[in-house]
């Protein structure tokens, strides 16, 4: 009897572990194995500059903002296509999102004055 209980408990634990480590339903195939894409956002005389300029759709992005070049109202970064609006400051300079569509995606400041583009490409 004890052996049957031990086997049952072990089976339940194994199933719980396997279910917890499985990718979420609806997640793109292979996304769980991909790491976060890191890009830098700066600002020059032409507007926002993203380096590198492109990211992959469906893979999380961490955008690190260069506060030396991104100043004033430009620190409120808006990427409407992905429902992103964040004001960055000292100690909080990262913006995180997952691109859900591909193409040239507009980045603007909170006053819609400073502009730029990030290109989102389809996964290979």
Q: What pTM value is reported for the model?
A: 0.73
Is the per-residue pLDDT at 109 higher than 90? yes
Distance spanning both ends of the chain, measured CA to CA: 53
Burial 39-52 (b: 16+ CB within 10 A, else e): bebbbeeeebbbee
Residue 112 tokens, joined: 């819609």
Considering the chain, what is the average pLDDT of its residues?
Answer: 82
Domain edges within the chain? 31-121
Is the per-residue pLDDT at 11 higher than 80? no
6 — pLDDT class (breaks 50, 70, 90): very low
Q: How far apart are CA 59 and CA 67, in angstroms?
A: 25
Homologous superfamily (CATH) of 31-121 is: Cupredoxins -  blue copper proteins (2.60.40.420)
Beta bridge partners of residue 119, listed in sequence order:
54, 104
Tell me the pLDDT tens digit for each residue of 24-56.
433 443 444 569 999 999 999 999 999 999 999
């Amino acid at each position: 009897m004890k052996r049957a209980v031990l086997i049952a408990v072990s089976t339940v634990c194994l199933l719980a572990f396997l279910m917890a480590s499985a990718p979420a339903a609806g997640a793109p195939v292979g996304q769980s194995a991909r790491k976060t894409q890191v890009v830098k956002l700066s600002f020059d005389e032409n507007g926002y500059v993203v380096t590198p300029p492109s990211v992959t759709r469906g893979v999380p992005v961490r955008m690190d903002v260069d506060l030396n070049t991104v100043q004033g109202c430009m620190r409120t970064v808006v990427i409407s296509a992905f429902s992103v609006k964040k004001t960055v400051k000292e100690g909080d300079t990262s913006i995180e999102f997952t691109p859900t569509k591909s193409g040239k995606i507009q980045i603007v400041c909170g006053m819609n004055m400073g502009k730029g583009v990030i290109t989102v490409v389809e996964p290979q």
